[in-house]
Each structure stands twice: as C-alpha cells, then as structure tokens.
Amino acid sequence: MRLLLGFLAALLTTAGLAAPAAAAESRPVHSYADAIRETAWVETGTDHDRDGRPDRIAADVIRPDTRERVPVILDVSPYYACCGRGNEAQKKTYAPDGTPQQFPLFLDNYFVPRGYAVVLADVGGTNRSSGCFDDVGSGNAVVNWLGGRAKAFDAPDGGRPVTAGWATGDVGAIGKSQDGATAIGMAASGVTGLKTIVPIEGVANNYAQLIANGAPLATPENTGSAFTYNERAAELCKPFEADVKARAGASGDYNAYWESVNYTPRPGQASVLIAQGFGDWAVTANQFAGYWAALGRAGVPRKAWLSQAGHTDPFDLQRALWVETLHRWFDRWLLGLHNGVEREPAVHLETAPEQWTDVRSWPPATLPATLRPSAGGTLGLTGSGTASVVDDPAVTREEWAAGVSAARFTGPPLPAPVRIAGSPSVTITASSDKTAARLGVALVDYGPAETRNTAFYGSGVRNLATRSCWGASGAVDSACFLDTATDVVRVDHRIVAAGWADLGHHASLRHGEPLVPGRAYTMTFDLTALDHVVPAGHRLGLLLGGTDGLLFDPALPNFGNTLTFDLARTSVTLGLTKPEH
C-alpha cells in the first residue's frame, strides 16, 4: 500500500495535479494572558542630554511565554505619554512596580498570540526615556539590542544587564505619522536586522514637510518635537534643540542638515508596506509619491494602500482587510512564510469613498497636459494677460477657492470624466512689490460631489459607538476598539492638489535671495500628488495666491506684498488618463 500511495503521489506531481499546500500563516497558539511583560532601558551610545551618562531608551516589551525565539514588531514613538495613539488616544500604562500594562493599539493583542513580540519604544527624552529627540538613533539602538549588538538594563539608571536572547533579531518597524517617519529613517540607515517597515502617513523628506520649496512653514520656535519631552528632557535638551535649529537654519535653504534627514534618495533595502491618504493635508501625498518612486528604482519589495482619506490609519478604513494584509506581510518578512503577498497587486487603491480596487502599479501611465490661465479667468491651452493678488496670510486656500485673496481660473465643463494621477507641476512667473514673496497654488475640481470630509485637515472617518475586537484581551488591555465609518460630505468643489514656495528660491532651493521689486521671476515646483477622477460636467480650476492661512504659522512675518502673475508664462502640467471604472 505504501508503494502504491508513493506511486500515486509521484504520478500526480508529474502531471501537475499535486494538491496545493495549505496557505502558510501564523496561528494564535500562545496565551496572551501569560505573555511576558518587561522593560529594557537600551543604551544608545550617545549623551544628547549632556548629563554625563549614556542615553537610555525605554523599550516596553510584551512577548509570548515560549522557549522559541520570536521576531519583533517595533513602534518607536514620542507620543506614548503626551498625546496617545489611535482614534482613542491610547497611552501606555504601568503597574505600581513599573511593569507595562496597556500597550496602545491592537498589535500586541493580535500578534503576540501568533508568535511575535511587540516592543513599544519611547523616543529619547519622551515618556520614560532619557536623552533627546533622536528618533532614528532611538529606534536603531533598540534594533541593535534585539540583535545582541547593544547593551540594555532593567532600570533607567544603573540596574542589571538585560539581554534579548528570546528574539530572533528580525524586526519590523511600524507606525503612523512621526512613528512612520522614524521607521523610514531607520530603513534609510541600513541598520542590521530591520527586515521590513510599515510607515502609515509617514514623512520621508523632512525638508519638504517643514519647508515648502524654500518657504518655512513655521517659526523656529514652533517647530521640532520639544512639546513631547518629559519634564527632565524639557530642561536638559535645550542645548540639543538649539544645535538642531542652528544646523537647520531659518532661511529655508536646503543644506547639509536637511539632506541628512531627507530619506527619499536612500530608501534602504527593508521591504515596505506603506499607507497614504490623498486627502491628508498633515503629511501630504507628495511625501509618498517621491518615496514610492525611490523604492521602485532601488528594487525594494513594496506594497501600498492608497485612500482618499486624510491623516488616518487603514485600520479605520477597511479594518478586517488591513489586519489580514498586515498579518500576511509580517508573516512573509519576519517569519519567512512564503505566502505570496509580495506577488499580489502592489497597490490597494480607493477611487471614491469606499470604492476600492487592486492595481499592479502606481502611478498609472498618463499623458501630460499643460493648461494655462488667462486674464479673463479662463483655463485652457493658451494663456495671456496678468493677474494681481494682495497677499493676506489670514486667508486660507479654501477661501481662495471661493475667490478671496487669490486669482481663480476655470476651464470649460468636461465632456467626459478624466482621471488625474501622479504629481502635477506648476511653472509660475510672478513679480512682487516687496523683497520677499510666498506663492500658493491649488488645483480644484469644481462641481457637486459626495466625498470624504478631509477639508480643514479632516480625517474622512468618524467613530461609532460600537466596538470590534482584534486579538486577545487582557484585564487592562482590551483588544476591542471603536468601529469607524466614512465621514462623507456634499461639496460644490474640492481642492485635490496644492503647492507652496518661496519666490526667492526660484533659482535653487539651496540658496534663496532677496527679490528685486517689480522684477519677474520664474519658478517650477510640484503640487501634492493625487489620484482623482474629475466627473463629466465638472470644471477644473487653478488658484494662484500667496500665503496659505491653512498651512503657514501665523507667527511668521507678514510680507504685506502684492504679487503680479504673468499668465502667459504660468502653467500647470497634469498627468491624465481615462478612469478605470
């Protein structure tokens, strides 16, 4: 009988009919209630707070009680004490003896039973860490400790050595916003052991996040992360923060410091699952677009979730599918289970509220179209005349769209729907009656629509009163989270892309210059990336203005200038294609 079964198995295999193997997937076989909870204070090798002792990063660990070594899901954040994580602003909590109790979000509840450790680390100077805000250095120190290459102790000062003999050394870094930016920076550093990252609405180019083409978005006093510091760091890190600000400069010039924190040109080799909302005005989609392209050029395995939402987590968009995707992604890159996730369509794309599709690549192939404004308020293939705008920093781009403090130009009604995808660019020729000028540009879809509510930094989702559970709950750490729904509004227009710049940086981002009043300068820069379908009957609009009151810090200097645009030498170039659906 054994020979017969072997013969049949060989025959089926030869004929290509062998039964497929069961899908590889980690299972919840470990007890969450019995999970080990502990804290390791990891030395970074730096003394940023200048107290004469090595800085230590507090890494709170929850791991299955098993003799097998396990991989680690790591979230490095400054927000565990000051602001919280997720829609419910969950913070870390501790037992009276300091043992970590609540681990924010669902990662511990879901993944610890499946054979992963979850480590939530406090950025230097925040919560229970010493040192100052060196986010990438903080995260890399923890990765090195997990791989046996850094020291850690069981107390913030002194204490006994702690090793991570329970860890395989393979790490996946995840996080939203600042946490996602940290993960991107860690990948760029090439730290050994970091196998994958999952940045959600994360910054890849810190210069572009804080300076819009030469135009600082805030005063030096209102930038940075000092608001996240613990009481000790708030005092000790003043020299560190002053040094960072000095290296960054206040001119808006792109310099060696900004180059060091621009991770786009050097994405590293860790695989990337990235999420971005095209309606996110806090971390705009141009951060994603440049980084995504760089990943492709570097041959890095990549997958993206692209929504029409604002600054929100996919967990609050398609919860079940996101958890499944994240599960399979970590299984593939941290456990080495060959589940085929990297061979599936690379992009999960929301084309309209709650309408999703899977595509092989992004952006799609498009045809470039260049549109030009004319003095009569039209937008077409040719441009002519001039338009003048008195800059008013109190007026927002949403008010520009209604014709306040900006020049507005609209095209004819579209005879058929058109998809605009990728990163539009604008070329502006303008003069100022003062020696400095900010530029603001917006692309608008004029027409009635039902859309996610993302104007004025809306997330496009809202919390419900019900809860759903994702993993195992403990007495002080529930796996149940508020459900969400799409926050939809009826609008008569939608700003779908925007961009900002300092006209004094027209020749180079590295060297700005005072303007000669009345002299025309030409500057080209990208708008925020988008993937948007303009329906038939809608009009495409272009807004030309100055300081955007929704973006720039009111404490910045008010130039009080008048901008005059040379419309014949001003244009916007879009990538157009037919809608797929």
**Residue among 530, 526, 519, 348 at smallest CA distance from 437:** 519
Q: Which amino acid is at 97?
A: D
Give the orientation angle of helix 135-146 with respect to helix 178-189, to 10 degrees: 60
243 catalytic residue (yes or no):
no
Q: How many CB atoms lie within 10 A of CB 551?
A: 19
Q: Which of 30, 48, 311, 506 is catalytic?
A: 311
| Strands of 329-437, DSSP E | 347-352, 355-359, 367-373, 379-380, 386-390, 407-410, 418-422, 425-432
Tokens of 254: 């792109």
DSSP string, 79-108: -TTTT-BTTTTB---B-TTS-B---SSSHH
d(CA 179, CA 299): 24
Q: Which amino acid is at 19?
A: A
3-state secondary structure 106-122: CHHHHHHHHCCEEEEEE
Tokens of 571: 């244009």
Q: How many CB atoms lie within 10 A of CB 99?
A: 11
Q: How many CB atoms lie within 10 A of CB 10?
A: 11
Tokens of 325: 């995707």
Residues 6+ away with beta carbon under 8 Å from 65? 30, 31, 34, 35, 36
Q: Residue 401 in contact with residue 493, Cβ under 8 Å?
A: yes
Q: Which of 179, 280, 316, 477 is catalytic?
A: 280
177 catalytic residue (yes or no):
yes
Q: Which of 26, 129, 177, 432 is catalytic?
A: 177
**Residue among 360, 372, 347, 368 at smallest CA distance from 427:** 372
State the pairing for strand pair 194-200/271-277: parallel
Residue 581's alpha-carbon distances to 120, 417, 533, in angstroms, are 41, 10, 10
Which positions are catalytic? 177, 280, 311
